[in-house]
Amino acid sequence: MQEDEYTVYINPILEDLVPGFLQNRQNEILSLEQMCLSRDFESIKRLGHQLKGVGPNYGFQKLGELGAAIELAAEHRKIESITLIIQGIRNYLTHLKIQFQ
């Protein structure tokens, strides 16, 4: 991921909601890892679908793309791909730079 992919421009109206939103995503990473351990592909697919929708709604387009990728990988039961995408989400959230404008 290039550096500019980590910069997200968010509507200031959402500023108070963003910390909780990001904490929920951190919690979902842990859930996804547990789902991987138990090979719960249906739950992984469902959570990927949620990320695909909620990410862009808050202005996090890349998070939506990663959610779509998880959904597709879960549909095809590709655990290695799912694991890599989870790492990508963790990396994205770690390096994220938010600008409210």
Count CA within 13 A, CB hemisphere, residue 21.
Answer: 18
Task: Please report the pLDDT score of residue 3 as a whole number.
Answer: 55
- The model carries a pTM of 0.91
CB 91 within 8 A of CB 75: no
In angstroms, the CA 44 to CA 71 distance is 7
pLDDT per residue as tens, the chain (101 positions): 555 778 999 999 999 999 999 999 999 999 999 999 999 999 999 999 999 999 999 999 999 999 999 999 999 999 999 999 999 999 999 999 999 99
